[in-house]
Amino acid sequence: MFITRRKMLKATGDRGEQLNRLEKELNTADAIIIGAGAGLSTSAGFIYNGERFERYFFDFAEKYGIRDMYSGGFYPYPSDEIRWAWWARNIYYNRYAAAPKPTYKSLYELVNNKNYFVITTNVDHQFQKAGFDKKRLFYTQGDYGLFQSVAPTNRRTYDNEEWVMKAMAAQGFVKDIDGVFQVPEDRKIIMELPSELIPKCPDDGSAVTTNLRADDSFVEDEGWHRASAAYSRFLQEHKGKHVLFLELGVGFNTPGIVKYPFWQMTMDNEQAVYACINYGESFCPPELAERSICIDGDIGDILVQLR
């Protein structure tokens, strides 16, 4: 099946009717396969620009003209000490800090007693933090909470939480009463780590990088392959059954991971239903119109309505 975006059918019809249809599918499906993209984390408050960016990265914005967390990851910083100061903040506020909004919790409450599996391109670990079973999750694009060696022969990943906490403290961030790092009242933080805090591979002392898929150097470690196999088994076990493919916040950056496979698997299985919740980009192929539920809106708000 090959369909261009120009042929898509956008969300139409009564919102209440669509919500009722989705609620029915959530309660009657033999399995729910959730495909999550960046729009889900955006709905949870992980905004990479604006007020949230200015609060934690105001100094980088002033000195280097950076305007958002995403582009800042590609900036050619003058030293490793400055580059890793940036990444410590980025990782902390998008991986270890709590989600600003309860979107993931709302989703968990909808499916925690159901037969579900999650495939996601998000790297912020929010599914597990919300309570989802680790054995039912497949993070295809990596995890902010992991480092990998730049050595191509090393195919392991390494937890970075202890390093991140030290790096945040070294920049002058202070913990509030809830144990969350915040900018101090005098706003005196630094954009540079001491050289001894530049992270190194614990096995061979080589340089490390984030375990995020950017090119073919991305490390698919043992945990990645275990999750991939679990996802494949889940799909196979429910082939031909009443399956709800629930797509949340998936755009067209990497449609071959969630969106296109969900369309194809729904097309191949007459018992399957495709549902898409997305702000401004909720649509389906015309061939699936009768078995699709497309809802345009904020994912968090819609999940609350379903609850």
Contact between 221 and 156 (Cβ < 8 Å): yes
Q: Are 171 and 189 in contact (CB under 8 A)?
A: yes
What does the pLDDT average to over 139-148?
A: 97
Q: What is the pLDDT of residue 83?
A: 98
3-state SS assignment for residue 260: helix
Which residues neighbour 272 within 8 Å (Cβ) at sequence distance 6 or greater?
A: 242, 243, 244, 245, 265, 266, 291
Instruction: Please say if the pLDDT value at position 280 is more than 50.
Output: yes
Give me the percent of the chain exceeding a pLDDT of 70.
96
235 φ/ψ sector (left φ>0, alpha ψ -120 to 50, else beta): alpha
Q: Which residues of 223-257 are buried (b: 16+ CB within 10 A; e: fewer)?
A: ebeebeebbeebbeebeeeebbbbbbbbeeebeeb
Maximal C-alpha separation, the chain:
61
Collapsing DSSP states into helix, strand and coil, what is residue 82?
A: helix
Task: Give the number of C-alpha atoms closer than 13 A to the C-alpha of residue 285, restricted to the C-beta side.
Answer: 17
Return phi, psi of residue 216, to 5°. Answer: -75, 5
Q: What's residue 183's pLDDT? A: 97
Task: Establish how many alpha carbons lie within 13 A of residue 78's alpha carbon, considering only the half-sphere containing its beta carbon.
Answer: 5
In angstroms, rounded to a whole number, what is the distance separating the alpha carbons of residues 152 and 91?
23
The predicted-structure confidence for 33-75, as pLDDT tens digits, reads as follows 999 999 999 999 999 999 999 999 999 999 999 999 999 999 9
pLDDT given for residue 15 in this prediction: 84
Q: How many percent of the chain have pLDDT more than 90?
A: 92
What pTM was estimated for this model as a whole? 0.94
Which residues are bridge partners to 35 per DSSP? 119, 247
SS3 assignment, position 19 = helix
What does the mean pLDDT of the chain come to? 94
What is the average pLDDT across 7-21?
77
- The CB density around residue 62, as the number of other CB atoms within 10 Å, is 11
Residue 135: burial class (beta carbons within 10 Å; 0-12, 13-18, 19+)? exposed
Quick one: pLDDT at residue 2? Answer: 44
Average pLDDT over residues 1-7: 51
- The pLDDT tens digits of the residues spanning 168-213 come to 999 999 999 999 999 999 999 999 999 999 999 999 999 999 999 9
Task: Give residue-wise pLDDT tens across range 240-279.
Answer: 999 999 999 999 888 999 999 999 999 999 999 999 999 9
Mean pLDDT in residue range 207-234 = 96
Query: Do the strands 116-120 and 283-284 form a parallel or antiparallel pair, or are they unpaired?
Result: unpaired
User: Is the confidence at residue 12, as pLDDT, over 70?
Assistant: no
